Structure 1
Amino acid sequence: MRSARERLKQQREQDRTREKRRRVLVVSAAVVGVLGLAAVVGVIAAAGGGKESSDKAGPVVPPAGALGGDKPAIPQGRPDAPSTLAVWEDFRCPACAQFESVMRASVHQLVASGALKAEYHLATLIDANLGGSGSLRAANAAACAQDAGKFTAYHDVLYTNQPPETNDAYAKNAKLIELAAKVPGLDTPAFRSCVEEGAHDAWVKKSQEAFKKSDFNGTPTVMLNGQSIFPQKGGEQISPENLKKWVAEANKGKKPGTASPAAGSPGR
């Protein structure tokens, strides 16, 4: 009897160890009106994580117009917009694609109206958890699109064409260049060279380091004016309607931004 209890205890300990090593999926039921999202899935970084890419990167070269400091980001929208949406994302992350598919139109509308500016922080969490380099390669390509003033359009193309999480298709520069053809005017020699040379690899890795130091739980991490809103804000689940309501509340008595929008922003 004692031996059976010991075996059971050992099995439970082994199960707990395996649980710490795997990715955890956190599913949050969310009501999103006519778009009908039944669940939003957040990918949580496993304890200890996986091994980061050890490829040496050159000097840190920010994409055009990027925000510096300890949390590098690609800004979109009018710089004087009264509210800021910060999105920490990974182009291999299926939860990020789910978030984008539901919230994209509302975010674009708010950004174009000057009510909101967006700051995209690029992470490589899936590369660390599953291995491969698709997160890094796609993030570099997105930064190259920012150089061309076409970040938003290419960002959306990457998510609408996202391969299965375990398929590291974005590790191939040829695939990323192929997708650039879906954005008018992006597939140029300059863009191809930027992608092939990994011009912004070191900058992306700096952004990933910022993600790790920020102690976030996973991607996507979405914050409105510094307050977490994904998967919920207080007791309210995120949805297109709630995002518009939260921004309206935050902007009460404030004028929309009127400065020239950042390159590649919706409506530019």
Structure 2
Amino acid sequence: MSNRNTQENKQAARERIRAQREKEKKKERLRRQLIVAVSAVGVLAVAGGIGFAVMKANQPTGWEAAKEAKLVTPAHTQGDKGTEILIGDKNAKQTLEVFEDVRCPACAAFEQSTGEELLKDLHDGRFKVRYTMYSFIDDMQGGEGSKNALSALGAALNISPEAFLKYKSALYSTKYHPDEREDLYAKDSELLKVAGDVPELKSNKAFEKQVKDGTYDRWAMEMTALFGRKGVRGTPTFMHGDKKLTMAEIPQQKMTQEQYNQLARANFRKMIDAEFGPAKGGDAGKGQDAGKDGGGQGIAKGEKDPTGGN
């Protein structure tokens, strides 16, 4: 073998080795680039997943979410956000304002003993009644029963003012009203059970769906946001214009439930007569019944709230 062939073979071998090394280097660079790229995608995916999880975690839920939901106002309401509930004979010249909280035990005591007295004056056309419903018991005791019951009252009001009044009375009744420490009305099933005693609501699929769907949850939040309106921060409270009406307290003494109810009705009657004047016997029964055809359809469209405030 000549020296020339030997040199050529060595040179060829060195070229093959160099080419192989370059090929291996390129493969290694490509492998590293792929690793970096995959790692970056993985980091982005993880970061995106964490970001999505954080975003979901920060999204409001429950009644906080209700504040941002689409506002649906019940029929028979007025005002910018449907928070004016005015019920009674449209020809009644006076308006009594009633402030209540569905979970409030004092409100329940009033409704159970004296609620029918108020409704009699309402039905007789002695005055209209504007209801402002609060939910501060939820904040004080914890829970959401006041708000949930208020949303359900919105569904009842959407049917008729009379359904609203009957349902409110049933919610406050001795048969159903829970201890304020028991958040029973947070359960839709309990609200629907109470509705079974109201003819307009019993087996009413539209009402049932609205309660379960929380159709009026946002409206309930708007209503309860009126807390402190006209300086009212306790319930039940009664006002005529800007005047807060005061009812005599019932003596702390041993008595039957019927005796308590009689005193409560007498004290309410005295307060109302002092403010609106004695009821005229000839007017009794002449007012149009709230919620029935021909009158009592709440605030008519375009009618100005006679109480002159939000």
Please report the TM-score for the alignment, with normalisation by the length of structure 1: 0.69
| Percent pairwise identity | 29
Unaligned residue ranges in structure 1 (runs of 5+): 1-51, 264-268
Indicate yes or no: 2:180 matched with 1:170. Answer: no
CA change 1:186–1:70 in 2 (3 A) is closer
Secondary structure of the residue aligned to 1:118 is strand
Indicate yes or no: 2:271 matched with 1:260. Answer: no
Indicate yes or no: 2:70 matched with 1:54. Answer: no
Indicate yes or no: 2:199 matched with 1:184. Answer: yes
| 8 Å contact kept, 2:153–2:167 | yes
2:194 maps to a residue whose letter is: L
CA-CA distance at 1:186 after TM superposition? 0.7
CA change 1:213–1:112 in 2 (3 A) is closer
Paired position in structure 1 for 2:79: 68
1:109 maps to a residue whose letter is: K
Indicate yes or no: 2:281 matched with 1:246. Answer: no
Secondary structure of the residue aligned to 1:87 is strand
Paired position in structure 2 for 1:19: none
CA change 1:179–1:143 in 2 (3 A) is same
Look at both structures and tell me which one has the larger radius of gyration over its CA atoms. Answer: 2
Kindly indicate which of the two structures has a greater share of residues assigned to strand. 1
CA-CA distance at 1:99 after TM superposition? 1.7
| 8 Å contact kept, 2:73–2:82 | no
| 8 Å contact kept, 1:62–1:203 | yes
CA-CA distance at 1:229 after TM superposition? 1.1
Secondary structure of the residue aligned to 1:85 is strand
Paired position in structure 2 for 1:229: 245
Paired position in structure 1 for 2:234: 218
CA-CA distance at 1:224 after TM superposition? 2.4
2:268 maps to a residue whose letter is: P
Unaligned residue ranges in structure 2 (runs of 5+): 1-61, 250-263, 289-293, 299-310
Secondary structure of the residue aligned to 2:131 is strand
Q: Deviations over 1:93-121 (max 9, x none)?
A: 00111121232121111111111111111
Aligned equivalent of 2:225, options 209, 214, 222: 209
Q: Deviations over 1:70-89 (max 9, x none)?
A: 88232221122121111111
Secondary structure of the residue aligned to 1:218 is coil
Indicate yes or no: 2:148 matched with 1:130. Answer: no
Rounded Cα–Cα distance in structure 2 between residues aligned with 1:157 and 1:182: 7
Paired position in structure 1 for 2:123: 112
Paired position in structure 2 for 1:4: none
| 8 Å contact kept, 1:53–1:127 | no
Rounded Cα–Cα distance in structure 2 between residues aligned with 1:128 and 1:230: 26
Paired position in structure 2 for 1:195: 211
Secondary structure of the residue aligned to 1:261 is coil
Secondary structure of the residue aligned to 2:66 is coil
Superposed CA RMSD: 2.7
CA-CA distance at 1:69 after TM superposition? 4.4
Deviates more, 1:122-131 or 1:241-250: 241-250
CA change 1:227–1:214 in 2 (3 A) is closer
Q: Deviations over 1:132-173 (max 9, x none)?
A: 110001011111111121111101000002100000000000
Give aligned pairs, total: 207
| 8 Å contact kept, 1:83–1:251 | no
Kindly indicate which of the two structures has a greater share of residues assigned to helix. 2
Paired position in structure 2 for 1:102: 113
| 8 Å contact kept, 2:145–2:184 | yes
